[in-house]
Chains A and B, each alone.
Chain A
Amino acid sequence: MSKPVIATTSLAGCFGCHMSILDIDERILQLFDLVEFNKSPIDDIKKFTKPVDIGIIEGGCCNSENVEVLKDFRKNCKILISLGECAIMGGLPALRNGIPVEECLHEAYIGGPTVQLNTKHILPNDDELPMLLDKVYPCHEIVKIDYYLPGCPPRADLIWDALVALITGDPLKLPYELIKFD
Chain B
Amino acid sequence: MKDTVKQILKQYGSDRNRLMDILIDIQEQLGYIPKDAIDLLAANLGMSQVDVEQTISFYHFFSTKPRGKYAIYLNDSAVARMFGYDSVKRTFESEAGIKFGQVSDDGLIGLFNTACMGMSDQEPAAIINNKVFTRLTPYRVREIVKHMREGKAVEELMNESYGDGKNQLPSLRSIVSSNVRRKGMILGDDYEMGTVTKTRLTKMSPEAVIAEMKHSHIRGRGGAGFPTGLKWEFCRRSKGDKRYVICNADEGEPGTFKDRVILTEKPELVFEGMAVAGYAIGSDEGILYLRYEYRYMKDYLNEVLENMRKQNLLGKEIAGIEGFDFDIRIQYGAGAYVCGEESALLESLEGKRGEPRDKPPFPVEKGYLGMPTIVNNVETFGTAVKIVLNGGEWFTQFGTEDSTGTKILSISGDCMFPGVYEVDWGFNVEDMLDMVGAWEVQAVQVGGPSGTLIGSKEFHRTLGYSDLSTGGSMIIFGPQRNLLKDVVLNFMHFFIEESCGSCSTCRNMTQVMTNKLTKILNGKGVKSDLDDLQSWAKTLQASRCGLGQTAANPIVSSLKNFRHLYEALLQKDKDFDQGFDMEASVQASCNYVGRVPNFNHH
List B568-585 residues whose CB lies under 8 Å from chain A: 576, 578, 580, 582, 584-585
Is B359's CB within 8 Å of the partner chain A?
A: no
Residues on B with beta carbons closer than 8 Å to the beta carbon of A14 = none
CB distance from B83 to the nearest CB of A (A): 37
Bound Cα distance from A125 to B595, whole angstroms: 6
CB distance from B600 to the nearest CB of A (A): 10
Asked, given contacts A64-B602, A65-B602, A125-B594, whether A134 binds B578 with beta carbons under 8 Å apart, the answer is no
Is B320's CB within 8 Å of the partner chain A?
A: no
Is B598's CB within 8 Å of the partner chain A?
A: yes
* Contact indicator B602/A137 (Cβ below 8 Å): no
* Contact indicator B580/A124 (Cβ below 8 Å): no
List A54-93 residues whose CB lies under 8 Å from chain B: 64-65, 67-68
Residues on A with beta carbons closer than 8 Å to the beta carbon of B580 = 67, 137, 141-142
CB distance from A44 to the nearest CB of B (A): 20
Is B43's CB within 8 Å of the partner chain A?
A: no
List A122-137 residues whose CB lies under 8 Å from chain B: 123-127, 130-135, 137
CB distance from B566 to the nearest CB of A (A): 20
CB distance from A12 to the nearest CB of B (A): 14
* Contact indicator A127/B595 (Cβ below 8 Å): yes
| Chain A count of residues within 8 A CB distance of the other chain | 26
Residues on A with beta carbons closer than 8 Å to the beta carbon of B593 = 105, 123-125
* Contact indicator A100/B588 (Cβ below 8 Å): yes
Partner of A134, one of B589, B594, B602: B589
Is B546's CB within 8 Å of the partner chain A?
A: no
Is B587's CB within 8 Å of the partner chain A?
A: yes
Is B597's CB within 8 Å of the partner chain A?
A: yes
List A97-136 residues whose CB lies under 8 Å from chain B: 100-102, 105-106, 123-127, 130-135
Number of A-B contacts (CB under 8 A): 60
B582, B597, B598 interface centre (most CB from chain A within 10 Å): B582
Bound Cα distance from A131 to B580, whole angstroms: 15
Bound Cα distance from A122 to B594, whole angstroms: 11
Question: Which B-chain residue is minimally distant from A74 (CB atoms)?
Answer: B576
Residues on B with beta carbons closer than 8 Å to the beta carbon of A142 = 578, 580
Residues on A with beta carbons closer than 8 Å to the beta carbon of B585 = 133-135, 137
Is A3's CB within 8 Å of the partner chain B?
A: no
Bound Cα distance from A101 to B445, whole angstroms: 43
Given contacts A132-B586, A143-B576, 5 further A-B pairs with CB under 8 A are A105-B593, A124-B593, A131-B589, A134-B587, A142-B578
List 22 A–B pairs whose Cβ atoms lie within 8 Å, in order of A's numbering: A64-B599, A67-B582, A100-B588, A102-B591, A102-B592, A123-B593, A123-B594, A124-B593, A125-B594, A126-B595, A127-B598, A130-B602, A131-B586, A131-B589, A131-B590, A131-B597, A132-B586, A133-B582, A133-B589, A135-B585, A141-B580, A144-B576
